[in-house]
Amino acid sequence: LDKKRIKMKQGETLALNERIMLSLVSTGEDCPFIVCMTYAFHTPDKLCFILDLMNGGDLHYHLSQHGVFSEQEMRFYAAEVILGLEHMHSRYVVYRDLKPANILLDENGHIRISDLGLACDFS
């Protein structure tokens, strides 16, 4: 993330919050349904989060390319989203940005929830 761009958009709070929330959900036994952070660091110009590689696109892209999902596909994705949300809730994190663009797919078609910038800690 470019620090100048973050400051221009007044996103310092969101970037810091995302790092904190990723730390909360990525510790211990990680959940396979959340994009986890392995490491975070910064340079003079950049803020860097090392996250799981998700190279299958997002649900928004797949919906725009293929139209509606079948009931079986929707149940599969919904179940994985629910398991990801349950994991966050077990860590006292509330996810507040659930939308198709924030549901990423891996190379095997499994989902992971991403973008925890708006999440909050309710412990």
Q: List CB contacts of 115: < 8 A, sequence separation 6 or more.
A: 18, 97, 102
Of 30, 45, 52, 97, which residue is the catalytic one? Answer: 97
Other beta carbons less than 10 A from residue 8's beta carbon: 9
Whether 58 is catalytic is no
Domains by residue range for the chain, with CATH: 3-121 (1.10.510.10)
Burial-class residue 72 by CB neighbours within 10 Å (0-12, 13-18, 19+). exposed
Over residues 94-114, the pLDDT tens digits come to 999 999 999 999 999 999 999
Q: Residue range 65-72: average pLDDT?
A: 93
Contacts with 1 (C-beta within 8 Å, 6 or more apart), sequence order:
15, 46, 47, 48, 49
Q: What is the mean pLDDT of the segment spanning 22-39?
A: 82
